[in-house]
Amino acid sequence: MKKETEPEFINSPLNHPMPNYNVYRIKKTESILVHVISFILGGLAGLVFYCDLFMKDGERTLATHISNTVVFIVIGLLAEKFLVPMYINSQLTKQKNQLKTQFCNMLESLTSSFSTGSNVVNAFEAATKDLKMQYDDKSFIVQEMEEILSGISQNINIEVMLKNFGERSGNEDISSFADVFEICYRKGGDMQSAIARTHSVITEKIAISDEIETKLTSNKMQHNVMSIMPIVLVAMLRMTNDAFASSFTSLSGVIVNTVAIGIFIGAYKYGLKIVNIKG
């Protein structure tokens, strides 16, 4: 059965299509560029290990040229399947981090508004003005705040709008804030204190995540370098040592190469699990 994919947009209570932050909306030109680069890189890496098969007396034959073309295309297509999802996942993580930071700034603006004695509606309006001074109109949080204000103007409960935002965000902190806001708003709790506390908790979590990321940066860099080095070393040896290059074209050389590449890919994936620690 075909795996169902999440929609890029989910309707808000106003029936407007709003972003689903669990999905990265890759642009068409960006998608083409990523696919082309992945294909070329994969094809070149494939030629490093499987170039010049079926040579005869040290000379390239028609079969050699055909095999080089086939290797470039096949490995390039496989690289697309591997590299493109990696790129999308990295951009999705970046998108979620941006949303978290923007949401934290929204809470800070709301806290300031409530401290001046503003009611809920006025606080959200003031916070939206503050956020527009920090971000452009297409930023995630500005779009969400404008949607919330539109809902308020059309007599939709603000907690309903916030819950929809929390569900689409895929962020536990935003969903929790929506629940806390609903309880405080309907039960007459201390809204300023609740928002200030939520802002403090999220700020601390972001600070801890940043600290973890900083400490892991060097390890991630080492992992990336070690992942590229085998390809670079083999390419250098093939270009500078004809005897070494010819050993790659034999049947035993192809088999050993294939096994080594499988081990290399497995080690790379295992290395990713080690360095990718969520704060």
Residue 201 lies in a domain: yes
Q: pLDDT value at position 278?
A: 59
Place of tokens 């509606």: 121
Distance CA 30, CA 187 (A): 48
Per DSSP, 52 falls in state S
**Gap between the Cα atoms of 74 and 70, Å rounded:** 6
pLDDT of residue 74: 94
Using CA atoms, how far apart are residues 124 and 122, in angstroms rounded to an integer? 5
Task: Compute the C-alpha angle 208/211/213, nearest 5°.
Answer: 110
Q: Of 95, 243, 245, 110, nearest to 170 (Cα)? A: 95
Give a yes or no: residue 114 inside a domain.
Answer: yes
Give dist(CA 75, CA 68) in Å, integer: 11
For residue 6, tell me if it sits in a domain: no
The answer to the question of residue 56 being in a domain is yes
Is 19 in a helix, a strand, or coil? strand
Count of structural domains, the chain: 1
Helices 120-134 and 140-153, axial angle in degrees (round to 10) = 150
Instruction: Provide the domain limits for residue 116.
Output: 25-275
pLDDT of residue 51: 86
**pTM of the full structure:** 0.81
- In angstroms, rounded to a whole number, what is the distance separating the alpha carbons of residues 24 and 10? 13
Check residue 53 and report its DSSP letter: T
| H-type alpha helices, the chain | 28-50, 62-115, 120-134, 140-153, 158-169, 172-187, 191-240, 242-247, 251-275
pLDDT of 3: 43
Q: Is residue 137 domain-resident?
A: yes
53 in a domain, yes or no? Answer: yes
Closest CA to 20 of 28, 29, 11: 11
pLDDT of residue 1: 40
Count the neighbouring beta carbons within 10 Å of the beta carbon of residue 273.
Answer: 8
For every one of its 279 residues, what pLDDT tens digit does the chain have, with 9 covering 90 and above?
434 578 889 999 999 999 999 999 888 999 999 999 999 999 999 988 888 888 777 778 888 889 999 999 999 999 999 899 989 998 998 999 899 889 989 988 988 888 887 788 898 999 999 999 999 988 999 999 999 999 999 999 999 999 999 999 988 888 888 888 888 877 776 777 878 887 788 888 878 877 877 777 777 788 778 888 888 888 888 888 777 777 777 788 788 888 888 888 888 888 777 767 655
Structure tokens at 225: 């370098």
Contact partners, residue 240, CB within 8 Å, separation at least 6:
none
Query: Is 3 within a domain?
Result: no
**CA–CA separation, 189 and 183 (whole Å):** 7
Answer yes or no: is 83 within a domain. yes
